[in-house]
Structure 1
Amino acid sequence: MDTVEWRRVLWQKQPFPDNYVGDSFLRVSKKRRELCFSEALYGATFVTQEICSCIGLVVIFFGISEGNLNASVALILTATIGIIGYAVTRAQLAAFEKDDVKVACFYVVLIACVSPVVKSLTGSVATDSINASTTFLLLLRLIVHDYGTTVAIVNPTVSHNVGVFASVCLASRLDSDLDVFTLITVAVALFALFPSLRRYCSMHLGRGWDIITTALVVLITATGILHYASHLLLVFLLALFICNFIIPALFIFLQSYKQNIYGPWDEAQIENR
């Protein structure tokens, strides 16, 4: 019995009693995935796009509230891009077109009805409180948004709801029903429709499309900031620098200390067969 080494396997008969365990029973193996900086940068593109969506909503709010951006123009552009995105993602789902039209009509009627209520919703609340609440909600959206990873903190429902609620907080500071309707519509397009379009294009067009989309989104957001909210430029550049350089570099550095521990407490697996 001493010449035969005991193995922790279930599929092989061994010359040992059923209750026998060898010295290797409490073995621990440590594994980690080796990543390069380019892979970390690619993973950061999804976060960058979501940062641009959140800041883009704030930029559109400033443009409308200060009278530098016509709400009708923003609404027409949003509707046009939304229809194009719908045509791209739903081209093979013609059977669902009637239901989609019903949902769109219900949304238009609902938001049009509640816009007067939203406009006066936070009349007794200080502007500083609204700004702080909006900032917190948008940060929470960035934290719980689904970037394609299976972790416990991800919650697409909460991510979508807090994004729309942030737009409601901002819309309550606008002057007309059309402005309110436009801002909430833009929020739905940015936080519900745009992520679906990104995932669809990423699945069918590959990494090159993700990089092109990220560059285009960053360019559009930066242009909007320069025209309508130049005071957000420093925040935007700092967020991009942290997201695309500091965090990937820190992730690569800490990856070398990451260890996945396996032992007898794990489920039995067939190895080397």
Structure 2
Amino acid sequence: DQPHSRSVRLLSAPAESLHVRQECEDPAVAGVDDLGSLPAYSLLENPPTIVSEGIRLRERLWEDTKSALHVFGTLWVLSPILQTLTSSWSEDTIIAVAVILLVIHALIHDYAFVYRPVPSSALISKSLALRKAWLVDSTVGLNAAMFAAIILASRLRTPDYVFAFAFFAMLAFAFVPFAFKWVYDNSRNVYTKVLTPGICFVATLGLWMHSKFGAIAFQALIAMMCFACPYLLIKSQCYKTEMRGPWDIAIVKSGSSRKQSTPHKLRSISA
């Protein structure tokens, strides 16, 4: 899931911009803009199918708006506390912990969520059984990403910046995958030909503003994952050794092969 993996890069660019230059005149505007996105994600996840569902749609939209306001208000109230969360930590410790947490998120994130069809009850129970077999779950990766966002936001100058950045991280890691899934289910061409290159371009542009070498290295890594790795996987198939033995399933011969083998056996018997 390349678009989601690039959200890690999208997270670090605004953090560095807010921390280094602090050019935003009113950071609360960013938070208000993020707030308006939450009801839209609900519509993307469960779009209405017929006109008669208009009343239910308005009720659902109102419930989602109230939930968004609750999250908005809680995060706004906690922003001054989050700003002092890492006041006793050194800058190197903040960077090291954030990098480790984002790497954990990138390793155990559920990349198949976008491509997975809507599961039935049997598939849900099977998925829960598989999750119990693993030591970690994809929710651990989400929590790691959110904690990394919180400790990065705690180094910003004002509570408004902390609120705007934390809310942006919440949208990027928790709600964007649902939007990607909706786009993929409705138009795979838009997902592969428009959304994926667009996210890659935005992430590269944000990285280019701070480190040209990092942007070039990021593009080289993307090219290797998209072209070099699949090519090497296909080329390595010719070196695969297929072992056959008594443990394999017996192959039933067709009728034509039986007819061809019968005269040979008769000749050997008469001889």
Which residue does 1:123 correspond to in 2?
87
Which residue does 1:27 correspond to in 2?
none
**Code of the aligned partner of 1:89:** E
Which residue does 1:209 correspond to in 2?
191
Q: Does structure 1 residue 57 correspond to structure 2 residue 11?
A: yes
How far does residue 229 in structure 1 lie from its aligned partner after superposition?
Answer: 5.3
How far does residue 173 in structure 1 lie from its aligned partner after superposition?
Answer: 0.7
Which residue does 2:111 correspond to in 1?
147
* Secondary structure in structure 2 of the residue aligned to 1:91: coil
Q: Distance in 1 between matches of 2:138 and 2:18?
A: 28
**Code of the aligned partner of 1:88:** L
- After superposition, the Cα gap between the structure-2 partners of 1:257 and 1:115, relative to the gap in structure 1 and judged at 3 Å, is farther
- Once the two structures are superposed, the pairs formed by residues 182-197 of structure 1 within 5 Å of their partners are 182-197=164-179
Kept in 1: contact 2:39–2:61 (CA 8 A): no
Flag the structure with larger Rg.
Answer: 2
Q: Distance in 2 between matches of 1:170 and 1:231?
A: 23
Which structure ranks higher in relative contact order (CA pairs < 8 Å, sequence separation ≥ 6)? 1
**Code of the aligned partner of 1:197:** A
* Secondary structure in structure 1 of the residue aligned to 2:88: coil
TM-score, normalization by structure 2? 0.69
**Code of the aligned partner of 2:15:** F
Q: Distance in 1 between matches of 2:191 and 2:208?
A: 26
Q: Decide which moves more: 234-243 or 98-107.
A: 234-243
Which residue does 1:9 correspond to in 2?
none
- After superposition, the Cα gap between the structure-2 partners of 1:226 and 1:96, relative to the gap in structure 1 and judged at 3 Å, is same
Q: Distance in 1 between matches of 2:8 and 2:146?
A: 11
How far does residue 112 in structure 1 lie from its aligned partner after superposition?
Answer: 1.2
* Secondary structure in structure 1 of the residue aligned to 2:111: coil
* Secondary structure in structure 2 of the residue aligned to 1:67: coil
Kept in 2: contact 1:60–1:228 (CA 8 A): no
How far does residue 63 in structure 1 lie from its aligned partner after superposition?
Answer: 1.3
RMSD of aligned residue pairs (Cα, Å)? 3.4
Q: Does structure 1 residue 240 correspond to structure 2 residue 222?
A: yes
Which residue does 1:132 correspond to in 2?
96
Which residue does 1:224 correspond to in 2?
206
Greater helix percent: which structure? 2
Deviations 1:157-176 (A, max 9, x none): 11221111110010011011
Q: Decide which moves more: 176-185 or 83-92.
A: 83-92
Which residue does 1:4 correspond to in 2?
none
Q: Distance in 2 between matches of 1:261 and 1:159?
A: 39
Please list every run of 5 or more consecutive structure 1 residues that lacks an aligned counterpart in the other structure. 1-45, 266-270
Q: Distance in 2 between matches of 1:229 and 1:185?
A: 25
* Secondary structure in structure 2 of the residue aligned to 1:174: coil
Of 178, 185, 190, the match for 2:160: 178
How far does residue 56 in structure 1 lie from its aligned partner after superposition?
Answer: 0.6
Q: Distance in 1 between matches of 2:86 and 2:190?
A: 44
Q: How many residues align?
A: 223
Deviations 1:109-147 (A, max 9, x none): 211121111111111111111111111111111111111
Which residue does 1:252 correspond to in 2?
234
Kept in 2: contact 1:59–1:229 (CA 8 A): no
Which residue does 1:42 correspond to in 2?
none
Q: Distance in 2 between matches of 1:147 and 1:212?
A: 19
Please list every run of 5 or more consecutive structure 2 residues that lacks an aligned counterpart in the other structure. 49-55, 117-126, 253-271
| Residue identity (%) | 23
- After superposition, the Cα gap between the structure-2 partners of 1:87 and 1:236, relative to the gap in structure 1 and judged at 3 Å, is same
Q: Decide which moves more: 143-152 or 51-60.
A: 143-152
Kept in 2: contact 1:62–1:229 (CA 8 A): no
How far does residue 247 in structure 1 lie from its aligned partner after superposition?
Answer: 3.3
- After superposition, the Cα gap between the structure-2 partners of 1:264 and 1:178, relative to the gap in structure 1 and judged at 3 Å, is farther
How far does residue 251 in structure 1 lie from its aligned partner after superposition?
Answer: 3.7
